[in-house]
Structure 1
Amino acid sequence: MGFLSEELSEASLDKKLAASVNILPKASSLYFWNGEIEEATEILLLIKTKTSRVHVLSSYIRLVHPFEIPEVFSLPMDQGDVHYFKWLEEGMEED
């Protein structure tokens, strides 16, 4: 696992920008970059956060990530277990 992925995950939790991070190593990726097809092995982070924190989290990732354009997007979690959503809220409460 890459140092950046661990550091970014821990910092996201410490800064209360996320309640949980899944680290999925060795994701094989194909993508266009500068008109060419590129292939890379990447580490995928699934970061669970609140909608209100997505902008700040995205800004932080862009600040520390070495890629010119890191892959950052959000998916709404509008349905799910109420206990999980409560846990997520509690995990991100400011001290």
Structure 2
Amino acid sequence: MTVRLVFCTCPDTASAERIADALVGEHLAACVNLLPGVTSVYRWQGRLERAGEVLLLIKTTADRLGALSARLAELHPYELPEVLAVEAGAGLPAYLDWVVAQTAEDT
């Protein structure tokens, strides 16, 4: 089972905490780190934007990525939430096994 790290920015701590609680509570994520103090610079609807955000670093599996992405889209206050997933190329085997166990659909 391949572990994925998913990046998602949120506009504030309250929405970040609400999303993190739902993802872990629903076994879509094993763990979510909330990293406050992120400044994002991006172009949106033709304008250059700058926003303070909270970055979520979400640990899940490849099998749960589709369901996690769909749930993020439902929960997120942004019209187009950032959902970027990268494969964890390596890690402590016991930790990777824990991620798999925590995100199992029958948990």
| TM bracket (short chain) | over 0.9
User: Could you tell me which residue of structure 2 aligns to residue 6 of structure 1?
Assistant: 17
> Which of 27, 31, 36 does residue 47 from structure 2 map onto?
36
Measure the CA separation in 2 of the matches of 1:91 and 1:78: 19
- Indicate the structure whose relative CO is greater, using CA pairs within 8 Å and at least 6 residues apart: 2
For structure 1, list consecutive stretches of 5 or more residues without a partner in the other structure.
none
Which AA in structure 1 matches 2:77? P
RMSD, aligned α-carbons:
1.2
For structure 2, list consecutive stretches of 5 or more residues without a partner in the other structure.
1-11
User: Could you tell me which residue of structure 1 aligns to residue 37 of structure 2?
Assistant: 26
Measure the CA separation in 2 of the matches of 1:23 and 1:54: 19
Cα distance, 1:78 vs. partner? Answer: 2.8
More strand by share: 2
* Percent identical residues: 36
Equivalent position SS for 1:74: strand
Q: How many residues are treated as equivalent by the alignment? A: 95
Which AA in structure 1 matches 2:13? G
1:52 aligns with 2:69: no
